[in-house]
Homo-oligomer: A and B are copies of this chain.
């Protein structure tokens, strides 16, 4: 059985990655592809890497164009999904790669996004305890943000095991594709090559409330998060370096055991063997996350590090993984586990 799939926002980086994965997915037929300023152009002119779909035409993003599909992916700027999702309606599975339906707290939503809260959909991070149950058969999926995917995988086992103080300090480095195809001077190649720089410092990044939500859920108490994202001179990848004080009495081997248990059955998360540390290159183009941890006895802290491809596991791959679950397909179908390296 084949599912007919539409992609809204097919001209962006997330949309392109969704299509790269869907083109290799055995149970999917690619239907409408929509764009904004690129509508009317062939896909090959804006996504030259999609050789197998180069001749497909982009049409304007309307509910009509998206109607009549089994699955609709929304890869739109934050705040545009809610209205469109309402119009598309029907029985289609709608997978929103934007932020609109991720947060449960309307106050947090309005503070960080400045618009009315649209609601909350099942959260597409299957590795979280209980998350798969919420995805089976669902018709609506909120795909996590890229940073929250990386950070949550690095920290939730420690919080779920009750081994960490509720105060996390996170510094993450992202490739530039995380900022999308926006024409800003600081995203020009001349500016980013050879340079590392922070942004949204001091708690202002919009992924912060999502991090708080995920880690607090895992801990069963409110977790304070200090989150500093940095822009790294690479196209893809997130390296999240996360730390928290150990609860009194918590031991390094308890922590390792908690992580081993959390990821033992996960097809897309590798807890690396001792001595190996994640590198973003090892997961580029794949839906895999690599995780490693260490306890700094002197500082009394856990340091947990994860690496993902922000466009794959962090967006499009996570979306397809959740789609597979919702549609009753094998969870790993059509998803690469091995990275493109070196």
Q: Which A residues form the contact surface with B (CB < 8 A)?
A: 13, 16, 19-20, 23-24, 42, 44-45, 47-54, 167, 169, 171, 173, 175-177, 179, 181, 183-185, 187-199, 201-203, 224-226, 228, 230, 232-237, 239, 241, 243, 270, 272-273, 276-286, 288, 290, 292, 294-301, 303, 305, 307, 336-342
Q: Report the bound CA distance from A338 to B305 in whole Å.
A: 30
Nearest B residue (CB) for A268: B51
Structural contact, B236 and A234, CB atoms closer than 8 A: no
Structural contact, B294 and A202, CB atoms closer than 8 A: yes
Given contacts A13-B190, A48-B341, A284-B194, contact A203 B296 (CB under 8 A): yes
Structural contact, B183 and A299, CB atoms closer than 8 A: no
- Taking CB atoms, residues of chain B closer than 8 Å to A233 are 189, 193, 232-234
Assembly stoichiometry (copies)? 4
Structural contact, A203 and B299, CB atoms closer than 8 A: yes
Structural contact, A234 and B202, CB atoms closer than 8 A: no
- Taking CB atoms, residues of chain B closer than 8 Å to A190 are 13, 175-177, 179, 181, 187, 235, 342
- Taking CB atoms, residues of chain B closer than 8 Å to A338 are 19-20, 23-24, 49-53
- Taking CB atoms, residues of chain B closer than 8 Å to A197 are 239, 277-281, 307
Structural contact, A189 and B169, CB atoms closer than 8 A: no
- Taking CB atoms, residues of chain B closer than 8 Å to A340 are 20, 49, 236, 284-285, 340
CB distance from A236 to the nearest CB of B (A): 7
Nearest B residue (CB) for A277: B198
Q: Report the bound CA distance from A173 to B171 in whole Å.
A: 10
9 closest A-B pairs by beta carbon, nearest first, are A202-B294, A195-B281, A49-B339, A189-B192, A197-B279, A171-B171, A49-B341, A190-B342, A226-B299
Nearest B residue (CB) for A47: B341
Structural contact, B52 and A337, CB atoms closer than 8 A: yes
Nearest B residue (CB) for A177: B190
Structural contact, A203 and B20, CB atoms closer than 8 A: no
- Taking CB atoms, residues of chain B closer than 8 Å to A241 are 171, 198, 228, 230
Structural contact, B342 and A301, CB atoms closer than 8 A: no
Q: Report the bound CA distance from A283 to B49 in whole Å.
A: 6
The 18 listed contacts between A and B (C-beta, < 8 Å) are: A13-B342, A42-B273, A49-B286, A53-B338, A167-B299, A171-B171, A183-B184, A187-B189, A187-B190, A190-B235, A194-B194, A195-B280, A195-B282, A197-B239, A198-B277, A230-B241, A233-B234, A235-B281
- Taking CB atoms, residues of chain B closer than 8 Å to A228 are 241, 243, 303, 305
CB distance from A334 to the nearest CB of B (A): 10
Q: Report the bound CA distance from A278 to B201 in whole Å.
A: 11
Most B-side CB within 10 Å, residue of A49, A296, A303: A49
Structural contact, A300 and B235, CB atoms closer than 8 A: no
20 other contacts beyond A48-B341, A189-B235, with CB at 8 A cut-off?
A44-B273, A48-B272, A50-B338, A50-B339, A51-B288, A52-B337, A169-B301, A176-B190, A179-B190, A187-B190, A191-B342, A194-B281, A196-B234, A197-B277, A198-B239, A201-B277, A201-B294, A224-B300, A225-B299, A284-B340
